[in-house]
Amino acid sequence: MSKSTDTSYNMVYMNEDEEFIDSELPAVVRNGEDFLFSDDFIPFPEGSSLIYLPGRLPLASFEGEIQTVESPDETIYPLSALLPAGYTRLFLPAYETTPNASTLPLFGYTAVAIKDGEFFVAAKKTDNPTKWNPLNYPQEKLSSGILKLQKRLPDNRLVEHLANCALEYQCLTASNIFLHRWEGGIPTSPSCNAKCLGCISLQESECCPSPQSRITFKPTPKEIADLAIYHLESNKEPIVSFGQGCEGEPLLATDTIAKAIKLIRQKTQNGIINMNTNGFSKDRLLKLREAGLDSIRISMISNIDKTYNTYHNPQGYRLGDIQEAGRALKQAGLFISLNLLTIPGLNDTPSELKAWEDLLSEGWVDLVQIRNLNIDPDWFFERLKPKEKGLGIPHFVAALSKYTDIGNFSHYNL
């Protein structure tokens, strides 16, 4: 265990009466399997939330030593913050998991502390969150937008699917379709060729439950195109994106999407057509580029084979295929982002960071979008088992920013 240093940030916990209690003990944070002290806290951002962690006990400092905090009179719970979009998590919450504790659901657990009666989070603002602030998604306009599109496209199955995503799961890219602005998601593929540990639309029963359901049908090119054309008619920076959280891998629907893109571009040249993908096939992506695809965002947790394979569990492709695709697509003129799945204590280890620097130095990545990985930290690190200590997410972000732009959202310069 690490030694304490003087800090004005205290550990805060919740009691059985759901009251938040300032422990008046120095707060501890977690980076991978390492527990430490940090002053990398910012005031609780608008849109953040606090949750308690059942089956776990908080950690704090007693006279310079990190120890478990317990109460003889009541059950107490450690707290975690869930960050709004536009903020990068710097540290995980510090706690001890008790025997038989259940696996935590798929959220982005972030260390939280209290100071002078105010909450703070271990995070850094790394992008402008305006377009992704749930407060900017008025429900009254959403409902009317759904009714409008249902009347316009009464037989389009995607409209009904996305209406459920917007209302049931508060999906912002689905909501944007009905609000007729910004980046709108259009799911296309019910199947996937990876079995990621942190998949948000499909999980094995013994793992953490998925927070949303995957699309169960294959939309036609016309269904896709009709919806996309409607969205791209907007004058509010319209983007249509294939590859949403409620689907599998869109490249498995390449022929359908290519036909849809051709239909779209026959009607309008407005806006941007994007794909969020694992990037497994250079040839499929080049086919889509020829049809009119403007940009892609490739999801990766690592540029090291072992780490990549353990987390993503690719079926029939390898990390080298993604690297090959990136180089070819850059030559073909695509704007390429990385959706870099990030958790403190993995990506910031020296070997992982070096591998990212090797990739970015090739020059085919236009933007790195940091994505806070939603997963139970204990469950995750039991499987990934990094052998090095992390250098810290602040160090990691600063190192990557020497090679390309860093943010959390899509920023296109086409």
Domains defined along the chain, listed by start = 10-125 (no CATH), 130-407 (3.20.20.70)
- For residue 186, pLDDT over 60 is answered with yes
**Percent of the chain at pLDDT above 90?**
84
Tens of pLDDT along 241-272? 999 878 999 999 999 999 999 999 999 999 99
Q: What average pLDDT does the structure give for the chain?
A: 92
What does the pLDDT average to over 359-365?
Answer: 97
Phi, psi of 323 (to 5 degrees): -60, -40
What does the pLDDT average to over 4-19?
Answer: 82
Residue with the bigger pLDDT between 89 and 140: it is 89
What does the pLDDT average to over 105-118?
Answer: 96
Give the pLDDT score at 131: 87
Residue 73 banded pLDDT, cuts 50, 70, 90: confident
What does the pLDDT average to over 11-20?
Answer: 95
- For residue 5, pLDDT over 60 is answered with no
Give the pLDDT score at 62: 85
Residue 169 banded pLDDT, cuts 50, 70, 90: confident
Are the C-beta atoms of residues 84 and 133 closer than 8 Å to each other?
yes
Give the pLDDT score at 26: 95
| Predicted model pTM | 0.92
- For residue 33, pLDDT over 70 is answered with yes
* 202-208-210 Cα angle (round to 5): 35
- For residue 2, pLDDT over 60 is answered with no
Neighbour order of strands in the sheet with 56-62: 65-68, 56-62, 95-97
- For residue 3, pLDDT over 80 is answered with no
Residue 402, C-beta contacts closer than 8 angstroms, at least 6 positions apart? none
Give the pLDDT score at 202: 57
Give the pLDDT score at 206: 47
Residue 351 banded pLDDT, cuts 50, 70, 90: very high
Lowest mean pLDDT among 87-101, 151-165, 178-192, 204-218: 204-218
As a whole number of Å, the CA-based R_g of the chain is: 22
Give the pLDDT score at 8: 84
The number of residues making up the chain comes to: 414
- For residue 130, pLDDT over 70 is answered with yes
Partners of 59 in the β-ladder: 68
Which is nearest to 228 in space by CA: 267, 277, 285, 256? 267
Which is nearest to 110 in space by CA: 177, 45, 25? 45
- Helix (H) or strand (E) run with residue 188 in it: none
Are the C-beta atoms of residues 111 and 30 closer than 8 Å to each other?
yes
- For residue 176, pLDDT over 70 is answered with yes
Residue 135 banded pLDDT, cuts 50, 70, 90: confident
The DSSP string of 372-403 is: E--S-HHHHHHHH--SS----HHHHHHHHTTT
Lowest mean pLDDT among 28-37, 187-196, 197-206: 197-206
- For residue 4, pLDDT over 50 is answered with no
Tens of pLDDT along 287-345? 999 999 999 999 999 999 999 999 999 999 999 999 999 999 999 999 999 999 999 99
Tokens of 256: 């359908």
Give the pLDDT score at 245: 79
Are the C-beta atoms of residues 185 and 162 closer than 8 Å to each other?
yes
